[in-house]
Amino acid sequence: METDAMTITRDSHEARSRERSGCRGESAAVSLNMMNPLRRCAVRQHGRWTVGVAAIVVLFGLQAGWADEPLRRFEFHRKAMGVEFTVVLYGAKKGAANTAAKAALDRVTQIDAICSDYKATSELRRLCAEARPGRSMPVSVDLVRVLARSQEVSKLSGGAFDVTVGPLTKLWRRARRQKRLPPPDRLKQARGLVGYRLVSVDVHRRQVRLKRSGMRLDLGG
């Protein structure tokens, strides 16, 4: 298992109070939707990312026996998406905590494998590499949901958020490494591939169509 657990025994009343207050003071607790990556939340606090898994806690029965057994604090870590994810759980059973945390962090790893614009093997990168102008490409449920929501945000923001900025992102990443501004002609060429209206998303058929050759998607928008 990639994660390491650190456990601290707590008085059950204190632990329940911390749970109700959202574990404030040491970490922020937010919900991670296991089915929809668009609803997952990450809160940065004290220089690290903390992921709360209240839904998973219930799913794996960590609440069982809280009235009779002192709760223990379990903390798990995994690096993904360029940051460190931390899962903090309270429960009586170490095995259940390990199972719940692994499920949450495995989901993070799965989303990263689908949506990363850094990894050449990600589904997002494969979509961009294999797409042809006007050709509809089949994609996973997770990716079509992310892209559909991205299109909604692009429309609401008037294009301020736009996942088609990938060609510009690539140019400026190279410029940062080389400490040299991109050539004007390359910038002009990249801008011609940017625009959220150049992407068509069919949620029901789980298909995505990129309208120009050379487009590259970056979900950071």
Host H or E run for residue 172: helix 166-178
pTM over 0.75? The answer is no
Q: Looking only at Cα atoms, what is the longest distance across the chain?
A: 70
SS3 assignment, position 9: strand
Q: 217: which 2 tokens?
A: 């998607």
Q: Where are the domains of the chain?
A: 6-115, 123-210
What's the pLDDT score for residue 221? 77
Residue type, 207: Q
What's the pLDDT score for residue 67? 55
Task: Decide: 70 and 9 in contact? Cβ < 8 Å.
Answer: yes
Chain centre distance of CA 190: 26
What's the pLDDT score for residue 169? 93
Q: Which CATH superfamily is domain 123-210 in?
A: ApbE-like superfamily (1.10.3980.10)
pLDDT tens track for 178-189: 999 999 999 999
Average of per-residue pLDDT across 197-212: 96
CA distance linking residue 85 with residue 97, whole number of Å: 16
- Look at 88 and 13; give whichever has higher pLDDT: 88
CA distances from 155 to 101, 193, 218 (A): 36, 18, 17
Average of per-residue pLDDT across 73-96: 94
Chain centre distance of CA 198: 24
pLDDT tens track for 39-61: 333 333 333 444 444 444 444 45
CA distance linking residue 172 with residue 176, whole number of Å: 6
SS3 assignment, position 68: coil
Residue 124: half-sphere exposure toward Cβ, Cα within 13 Å: 23
Average of per-residue pLDDT across 94-106: 95
CA distance linking residue 14 with residue 72, whole number of Å: 11
- Mean per-residue pLDDT of the chain: 78
pLDDT tens track for 12-32: 344 444 444 443 333 333 334
Let me know how many helices (H) and strands (E) the chain has, helices first.
7, 8
